[in-house]
Amino acid sequence: MQSEDLWLLVQEFLKANSKEKLENLLKGLLTPSEIQELAERFRIVRLLKKGVAQHEIAKRLNIGVATVTRGSKELKQGNFKYV
């Protein structure tokens, strides 16, 4: 994604300053499956930040350890600072 495209997308998210507006934006941009995948990734990151072991997260969420490891790598790269 080009940085200009990302900036435009960020601006739209910032304009969605209520739950209703943000939900409407997400439903317009993403399929129900994509929304579910984002929610799952968010749960993974939150659990990792709480110090829950990767294997425990995989067990709790009924997902593969590789999926959790991807989230862990993103954290190590400095992403999700504000989550």
For CA atoms 34, 39, 40, 41, the dihedral sign is positive
Q: Residue 52: enclosing H or E segment and its boundaries?
A: none
Residue 1's pLDDT is: 59
User: Which of these, 41, 11, 39, lies nearest to 27 by C-alpha position?
Assistant: 39
**Residues 32-77: tens digit of each pLDDT:** 999 999 999 999 999 999 999 999 999 999 999 999 999 999 999 9
* pLDDT of 24 higher than 80: yes
**Residues 5-17: tens digit of each pLDDT:** 999 999 999 999 9
The ranges assigned to domains in the chain are: 1-30, 31-83
Taking every pair of Cα atoms in the chain, the longest distance, rounded to a whole number of angstroms, is: 39
Cα Rg for the chain, rounded, in angstroms?
15
User: Which of these, 26, 28, 61, 64, lies nearest to 47 by C-alpha position?
Assistant: 61
* pLDDT of 29 higher than 70: yes
